Every structure is written in C-alpha cells, then in structure tokens.
Amino acid sequence: MLTMQKYHGMGNDYLILDPNKNEIRLEEKQIKLLCRRNFGVGADGVLYGPLLGNGKIFMRVFNPDGSEAERSGNGACIFAGYLRDMGYIHEKKISLYTKSGENEVEFLEHGTMRVKMGKPVFACDRIPVTGMEEEIINLPLLFHGELYNATCVSVGNPNCVIMMEDVSGQKARELGPYVESAARFPNRMNLQLCHVIDKEHIRIEIYERGAGYILASGTGACAAAVAAYRMNLVGQEVCVEMPGGEILVEIKDDLTLYMTGRAESVGTFLVAEHFFA
C-alpha cells in the first residue's frame, strides 16, 4: 500500500506524495489517474516531497494532466501544513523551494498562513507572450473570435487576467481552453476572469492550465490583484473572492506580493500498489 495525504485550501485540493514514506517514482500516467475524481482519489494536483538537500526543502507541483507547474500559492500553504503536521518542521517561518524558486511561508493564528510570493513580471518575453508589445496591460486580445481586454502577468507562472462586469464559472469554462492554448502563449496560460467590486475587493473565476476550472488559486488571486492594481482599480490590500473562499493579497511599494490563506487536512489515503501498475 502507498500512503498519501489530502489537503485543500478553499476547495483547491492537492494530494501529497511523500517519497520519504513511499518507494515510488511518480510518472505522468500515475498523476493523471490519481487526480481523476471518478477513477482515482481526485484532486487539482499532486505535491511531491519533501525533497531534502543542502539544508533546503523542495517540493514539486504537478497538474492533473501530469505537467509540472512552476509554483502554487495554495500548494505552498498546504505543503507547509503537511510538514508541520508530520513533524518535519517546528519553526514559525520556513522557506519552500519549487521550480520557480523560493516561497517564504509564515504560520499565523487560527490555521492561516502568509506566503511571500515574490514580484510579478509584466514583460512579455519573460511571461512568455509572443508577438506582442513589451507589456500587455488592459489591451485587446483575440480569443475564440472575440476581443477581450487582457492583462498578462507572471507570478511564477503565467496568467491572463480579463476584467468583466459579469464573471461566472460557466464563462471561465467556456473561455478557459482557448486562452490556455492560444498560439501566443507558448507555455500555455492560466485565466482569471475578474470583477472589481471596490478598491479593496475583487471577485474572480479561474481556469488553470493543466487543471481546468478550479474553485480557488493562490497564484491566480495574486495575479488578478496585481493586474487590477496596475490598472489603478484597487489599493495595496485586496480581498480576492473565489467560489471556494477568500484570500488576502498584499502589494508592497516594490510590488512584492504576499497572500494570506489557509490549508485544511482531509485525511490519509491508502492507495493499492496495483493502481500504479
């Protein structure tokens, strides 16, 4: 039997496969099977780790389609919670390393955590976005035969934020596949449909590359908040409302982003070894 833990952050759920407790080499087909909700355990992704070396704690983030993501804000909260629950760490503040670099996670009260997400990148060549100007801030882009005013930003992973008066899960599901796989986005793209409520509140719906429609996203919340900030629509503290819950995003003067979220344990799953055969 293989042992896995399941956690969620506002309905954004991850399976944690700890290589220190299981002898298995994780492969794409196994990730796909595990994440399927009707045939596997079901999840928005898999966190693989901790991978320990040089005094650092590494984790790998995998999407349900088996592709590897650069970063996950909710994933950082979830993995930090797992590390504390399993006795790997006892500190109030830790650093986690993913494909995109370092995330600092600070444990707050009542199960909440504050994650330093770094600085956003708006330069098209670094997101990347091809065939466009230096930055895309509220500019018209063509998706599925219609023009949408979009802002493109990387917060460790690439995001396209589209402002709308009416945002819905149905619209995110309809538009998401076209944004994700648009030719100008060589590494694919996450989509956030964003409605600005006031200077302190926005509401978003999310379609994530490799995962599809999801209830919450830490990186998505940060991307939408800083996009709205660049457009002078919000201030430096933004409550981001999502179908699964709320995340507080702080934007410092130098654009360094912090998100405050939470992680909750669902339970332990014993997975039959023949499941991976």
**The pLDDT value given to residue 213:** 97
Question: Which spans in the chain are helix H?
Answer: 28-35, 73-85, 169-180, 218-230
Residue 277: pLDDT above 70?
no
Assign 270 to helix, strand or coil. strand
Residue 54: pLDDT above 90?
no
Q: Buried b / exposed e across 52-74, counting CB within 10 Å, b at 16+?
A: eeeeebebbbbbbebbbbbbbbb
Q: What is the pLDDT of residues 231-249, one digit of tens each?
A: 999 999 999 999 999 999 9
Q: Where in the chain is the domain with CATH 3.10.310.10?
A: 2-118+263-276, 124-255
* Rounded (10°) angle between helices 218-230 and 73-85: 140
Assign 82 to helix, strand or coil. helix
CB count within 10 Å of CB 158 equals: 24
Architecture of domain 2-118+263-276: Roll (3.10)
Residue 274: pLDDT above 80?
no
- Please give the mean pLDDT across all residues of the chain: 94
Q: Is the Cβ–Cβ distance between 155 and 188 less than 8 Å?
A: no
50 cis-preceded (ω within 30 degrees of 0): yes
pTM of the predicted model, to two decimals? 0.94
Q: How many helices (H) and strands (E) does the chain have?
A: 4, 18
Backbone angles phi, psi at 252, to 5 degrees: -80, 170
User: Average pLDDT, stretch 181-206?
Assistant: 97
CATH of 124-255, one of 3.10.310.10, 2.30.30.830, 2.40.50.100, 3.40.50.300: 3.10.310.10
